[in-house]
Chain A
């Protein structure tokens, strides 16, 4: 297709190069070809997901336990006349537990992925198509072959396009070819290979600058990207930090469980137990060691936080990404829209060699209009035309809308002016030229000269000017005026305002023939000898919440890097305004100015802040970038092009790899809604403050998960020590396996989940970000705390209760040691206690599970009493424990007896 002429392409797709497809035709093709979207990679079938929940993690251990139970029961049933049903029940309960937790996690996952699906649909890609001559926004999915599509800088290309016209269009094909350098696009075929030729842009690549119009030649899976995607769909997705943490934790616990289980299996065989008994011990130890309810707890905690974040305009696609944001150490933020309101307002103007102030508030019509209209009416008129952009209303480009707004307020309708000065041609603004230029008809219909108007970066504009407009008259632009211009420019720029230069020129006669006009394109590029009209400066006021948010980031140890396309001075002013460069911190240039020495003599390390110009960045090696990122805490990148932003982000990411000692975490660069396609998280309102909220939530969930896990783990020691003492000291078994399950799944779950509601500790945003390599979710401190301290206290509490109950019923601790064999012997029915009483077997106080629980609960009450849900959780737990202990019949089922 790229070799065909435009007309041939249009003919091939039955379309019109100007009018586009008709609506009915588009519908027809849409019905034929299906939506323009990649078929999603084959998702794991539901039953596989279900099985993964059922057999993953701890579940497999529990399954082994259940199978061993059934085996033990089978063997007992085969060898004994009156087998106890304990093992059968235990096996059934274990299997039920695994299935129920599996179902629960599966349900949770299904629910959250459904939420995520709905999020995806909330931010659809839009495309600008021309149908029946009308431009219209449609969902990118509805684009069909033959559609005429317009793309502009910043858009994602909605389908494979054959370019039919382009203005300074550059695309970033990095997603396709890996080449980060933007490539020019034009209607001409430059290469035989469709991937190399300039007149094709590809689906899902980004248009970096300029505009282009093209015919869709392929959609959906038939696009080049689609074909590649189908090939590469088997690609593994990287794991989020929290997933790694949880996996690490599971391995740890499983390892401990298996190790303890096996060693005690062998030990009990050596101690002379039958292998059947040893197997039962093995099951008990595994059950005691595995926190059965933990995975469900974690899932619930993450879901809760994701919901909470969604309420704060932070959509999370992947549950586990919730925590990722919390480990952020550097935020690269775009300035416009994120730090600022993205609502350009004209603040100052410079003309007649004077700076005039315009109110940034809404109320700027009065005084402003007067000196705007009367002395330089012409400027008003011209700049209005400058602001003209077909298809763009005030909601368009930020600076243009500011201009238009300003003009609407001062000189009336923009529309009328537009009609009077019809535009014939334009060079759109792009970041290479840094100016925009357009050619208009003059107001006088008889005057067939054309008016050239130009606006853009003042230095570029001034280069093209030879005269300047003063008091309504053209005057030659001499050195003095140039200096005045420079001063005004620096002054306005120093206020953090975006300064635009404006000039007009007489473009001579073209005889009004468009065809001829195209021929003189060269002349437009070379246009000079223009008349400089003035400077306009605009400010994009920072969002109110930003300085606070930046301050929070700073105290949270997060480095905030600003990346912007603005002039360094502007960038610096805004950065100072929002606190990215904090008060009192100087850049190299500031130090040089203060000490009155050349910049080169200042040691760059003395300056904490630095402003880096895009052109400097271009010449830097990655080592130099690394050095900058390392040595400066407050960095602003100015005048950067979109691809340089990527370089910066990569640099940041390298930092994490290279300097683990500086405790940097993974990057999140949530700057641009359109770059978020592969991201796990979407900020709905593009507000920097939302990021900070997200960071806070992420850290909070990490903390709370830690608490939950610690809480759950503490019950492991009180669960396992009875077994160990049972085997080693031959005391009657204090806590049965089924009772352990009751504790883990019944009473412990709700308090553990309620810990997810814990409020943040006051210093949560004042700590350094966590280092994913050394700060584990489950670290030695947590283990030693949960096992060594709290766990031991609980275990002792439990044992105390156990001994008290046995002693009060007649079995003093001294007679308990070594009693186990006779205690458990079903044929001994005259077991003598310390008081000379003799007990039948069933009457003996057995398995004082509840006592254990009561003992452990007393220790479980946290210091933080403000969490209502936690209090509810503790009540629930107490109630459930009471139910299990006191409800009639439970002593038969669970062999638990109430405490007195």
Chain B
């Protein structure tokens, strides 16, 4: 009886202490930016849509069911890029870092869906999957305060030549500097990260084959893309297999 009471009081006290220290700790944190950002100095690359299991696309261009999920994911993802959603966003000066350190309310730059060309989903609601030219969006992870140097652009290379023709939207896969830096979720509410659409025009040679593609971010000295251990820092590898 007494021992039970003791443990009750003891654990009550411990829980209170834990909660209190956690609360104090959370008070010391800013809600705008995390305390330490050195573990995430260089961003990774990621693609959309992301197949469920691994980074491998399998679809039958004549069977709409086989790629319905990819299309849905893309449509979903691009929803926030609709013009209607970007009404507050401003048109920024291209090719320049959009520094707004002093501004209390950070503005977001408009990313026009039309820049994605054939992969914007406006012209082809199937994003080319039915035509054998599937689109994959490549994006760079958001990192607070990151200011890329030079002229960053995405470049994708298939492992074997002759199986696929790659087109970039915007041209050359460029990522405009005006979208950087990012100021964090709470300050930079309507921020949209720049996207690069990669259209994979699969040649008859490449049909039924598994095509390995690696995309990298190039042209910016402060964005790593060759880390030995981390295969996703500044690059991403995925596979596509299309049957008819």
B217 within 8 A of A: no
Q: How far is the CB of A86 from chain B (nearest CB, A)?
A: 14
Residue from B35, B142, B233 within 8 A of A837 (CB atoms): B142
A838 within 8 A of B: yes
Which candidate, B6-14, B93-101, B111-119, B206-214, is the interface stretch facing chain A?
A: B6-14
Task: Say yes or no: A838 contacts B46, CB within 8 Å.
Answer: yes
Interface residues in A802-852 by Cβ distance below 8 A to B read 803-804, 807-810, 812-813, 827-830, 832-843, 845
Task: Say yes or no: B185 contacts A838, CB within 8 Å.
Answer: no
Q: Which residues of B contact A813 (CB under 8 A)?
A: 22, 26
Q: How many residues does chain B have at the interface if contact means C-beta atoms less than 8 Å apart?
A: 45
Task: Say yes or no: A808 contacts B34, CB within 8 Å.
Answer: yes
Task: Say yes or no: B185 contacts A900, CB within 8 Å.
Answer: no
Q: Which residues of A contact B233 (CB under 8 A)?
A: 840, 843
Q: How many angstroms from the CA of A829 to the CA of B188 in the assembled complex?
A: 22
Residue from A789, A804, A829, A842 within 8 A of B141 (CB atoms): A829
Task: Say yes or no: B44 contacts A843, CB within 8 Å.
Answer: yes
Q: Which residues of A contact B184 (CB under 8 A)?
A: 835-837
Task: Say yes or no: A809 contacts B36, CB within 8 Å.
Answer: yes
Q: How many angstroms from the CA of A796 to the CA of B20 in the assembled complex?
A: 12
Interface string of B12-31 (1 = CB under 8 A from A): 00100110011001100100
B147 within 8 A of A: no
A488 within 8 A of B: no
Whose C-beta in chain A lies nearest to the C-beta of B3? A784
Q: Which residues of A contact B25 (CB under 8 A)?
A: 800, 803-804, 807
A742 within 8 A of B: no
Q: Which residues of A contact B191 (CB under 8 A)?
A: 836
Which candidate, B47-55, B57-65, B83-91, B152-160, is the interface stretch facing chain A?
A: B47-55
Q: Which residues of A contact B55 (CB under 8 A)?
A: 827
Task: Say yes or no: A836 contacts B185, CB within 8 Å.
Answer: yes
Task: Say yes or no: B46 contacts A830, CB within 8 Å.
Answer: yes
B68 within 8 A of A: no
Q: Which residues of A contact B17 (CB under 8 A)?
A: 796
Q: How many angstroms from the CA of A813 to the CA of B44 in the assembled complex?
A: 23
Residue from A796, A807, A809 within 8 A of B18 (CB atoms): A796
Task: Say yes or no: B44 contacts A839, CB within 8 Å.
Answer: yes
Q: Which residues of A contact B139 (CB under 8 A)?
A: 830
B166 within 8 A of A: no
B180 within 8 A of A: no
Task: Say yes or no: A830 contacts B18, CB within 8 Å.
Answer: no
Residue from A828, A836, A900 within 8 A of B50 (CB atoms): A828
Q: How far is the CB of B126 from chain A (nearest CB, A)?
A: 24
Q: Which residues of A contact B188 (CB under 8 A)?
A: 836
Q: Which residues of A contact B3 (CB under 8 A)?
A: 784
Q: How many angstroms from the CA of A841 to the CA of B232 in the assembled complex?
A: 8
Task: Say yes or no: B230 contacts A835, CB within 8 Å.
Answer: no
B128 within 8 A of A: no
Interface string of A147-173 (1 = CB under 8 A from B): 000000000000000000000000000
Q: Which residues of B contact A812 (CB under 8 A)?
A: 26, 29
Q: Which residues of A contact B35 (CB under 8 A)?
A: 807-809
B132 within 8 A of A: no
Interface residues in A436-460 by Cβ distance below 8 A to B read none
B236 within 8 A of A: yes
**Given that A792-B11, A827-B55 are known contacts, is A808 also in contact with B36, CB under 8 Å in the complex?**
yes
Interface residues in A113-160 by Cβ distance below 8 A to B read none
Task: Say yes or no: A810 contacts B230, CB within 8 Å.
Answer: no
Residue from A804, A827, A836, A840 within 8 A of B54 (CB atoms): A827
Interface residues in B178-194 by Cβ distance below 8 A to A read 182, 184-186, 188, 191
Q: Which residues of B contact A900 (CB under 8 A)?
A: 36
**Given that A793-B14, A828-B50, A829-B236 are known contacts, is A837 also in contact with B22, CB under 8 Å in the complex?**
no
Q: How far is the CB of A829 from chain B (nearest CB, A)?
A: 4
Q: How far is the CB of A209 from chain B (nearest CB, A)?
A: 59
B243 within 8 A of A: no
Task: Say yes or no: A838 contacts B14, CB within 8 Å.
Answer: no
Task: Say yes or no: A829 contacts B232, CB within 8 Å.
Answer: yes
Interface residues in A209-262 by Cβ distance below 8 A to B read none
B201 within 8 A of A: no
B72 within 8 A of A: no
A788 within 8 A of B: yes
Q: How far is the CB of A799 from chain B (nearest CB, A)?
A: 8
A892 within 8 A of B: yes
Task: Say yes or no: B33 contacts A827, CB within 8 Å.
Answer: no
Q: How many angstroms from the CA of A838 to the CA of B42 in the assembled complex?
A: 11
Q: Which residues of B contact A799 (CB under 8 A)?
A: 18
Task: Say yes or no: A837 contacts B143, CB within 8 Å.
Answer: yes
B173 within 8 A of A: no
Whose C-beta in chain A lies nearest to the C-beta of B21? A800
Whose C-beta in chain B lies nearest to the C-beta of A810? B34
Q: How many angstroms from the CA of A832 to the CA of B184 in the assembled complex?
A: 11
Whose C-beta in chain B lies nearest to the C-beta of A839? B40
B144 within 8 A of A: yes
Q: How many angstroms from the CA of A840 to the CA of B47 in the assembled complex?
A: 12
Task: Say yes or no: B22 contacts A789, CB within 8 Å.
Answer: no
Task: Say yes or no: A827 contacts B53, CB within 8 Å.
Answer: yes
Q: How many angstroms from the CA of A830 to the CA of B140 in the assembled complex?
A: 9
Task: Say yes or no: B44 contacts A830, CB within 8 Å.
Answer: yes
**Given that A788-B7, A789-B10 are known contacts, is A810 also in contact with B232, CB under 8 Å in the complex?**
no
Q: Which residues of B contact A892 (CB under 8 A)?
A: 229
**Given that A803-B22, A835-B185 are known contacts, is A829 also in contact with B44, CB under 8 Å in the complex?**
yes
Interface residues in A771-807 by Cβ distance below 8 A to B read 784, 788-789, 792-793, 796, 799-800, 803-804, 807
Q: How many angstroms from the CA of A379 to the CA of B37 in the assembled complex?
A: 106
Q: How many angstroms from the CA of A602 to the CA of B56 in the assembled complex?
A: 101
B134 within 8 A of A: no
Q: How many angstroms from the CA of A792 to the CA of B230 in the assembled complex?
A: 36
**Given that A803-B22, A804-B25, A828-B50 are known contacts, is A836 also in contact with B39, CB under 8 Å in the complex?**
no
Whose C-beta in chain A lies nearest to the C-beta of B48? A830
Task: Say yes or no: B44 contacts A837, CB within 8 Å.
Answer: no
Task: Say yes or no: A809 contacts B141, CB within 8 Å.
Answer: no
Q: How far is the CB of A822 from chain B (nearest CB, A)?
A: 11
Q: How many angstroms from the CA of A839 to the CA of B191 in the assembled complex?
A: 17
Residue from B21, B43, B142, B236 within 8 A of A836 (CB atoms): B142
Q: Which residues of B contact A810 (CB under 8 A)?
A: 34, 37, 40
Task: Say yes or no: A808 contacts B29, CB within 8 Å.
Answer: yes
Q: How many angstroms from the CA of A685 to the CA of B162 in the assembled complex?
A: 95
Q: How many angstroms from the CA of A800 to the CA of B21 in the assembled complex?
A: 8
Q: How many angstroms from the CA of A628 to the CA of B175 in the assembled complex?
A: 100
Q: How many angstroms from the CA of A800 to the CA of B15 in the assembled complex?
A: 11
Task: Say yes or no: B46 contacts A837, CB within 8 Å.
Answer: no
Q: How many angstroms from the CA of A833 to the CA of B26 in the assembled complex?
A: 15
Q: How many angstroms from the CA of A819 to the CA of B22 in the assembled complex?
A: 19
Q: Which residues of A contact B46 (CB under 8 A)?
A: 829-830, 838
**Given that A808-B29, A809-B39, A840-B230 are known contacts, is A835 also in contact with B18, CB under 8 Å in the complex?**
no
Q: Which residues of A contact B50 (CB under 8 A)?
A: 827-828
Residue from A788, A792, A809, A842 within 8 A of B34 (CB atoms): A809
Whose C-beta in chain A lies nearest to the C-beta of B41? A843
Interface centre among A792, A803, A804, A840 (most CB of B within 10 A): A840
Interface centre among A832, A838, A892 (most CB of B within 10 A): A838
Task: Say yes or no: A807 contacts B26, CB within 8 Å.
Answer: yes
Q: Which residues of A contact B186 (CB under 8 A)?
A: 835
Task: Say yes or no: A838 contacts B143, CB within 8 Å.
Answer: yes
Q: List 20 A-B contacts (CB under 8 A).
A: A788-B10, A792-B11, A792-B14, A800-B25, A807-B34, A812-B26, A827-B54, A829-B236, A832-B142, A833-B34, A835-B32, A835-B34, A838-B141, A840-B43, A840-B232, A841-B232, A842-B230, A843-B230, A843-B233, A892-B229
Interface set of A (CB-CB < 8 Å, partner B) = 784, 788-789, 792-793, 796, 799-800, 803-804, 807-810, 812-813, 827-830, 832-843, 845, 892, 900
List the 8 closest A-B pairs by CB distance, nearest first.
Answer: A836-B185, A840-B44, A838-B141, A810-B34, A830-B46, A808-B35, A840-B232, A842-B230
Extra 8 A-B pairs, beta carbons < 8 Å, given A803-B22, A809-B34: A788-B10, A800-B25, A808-B34, A809-B35, A838-B141, A839-B141, A842-B229, A843-B230
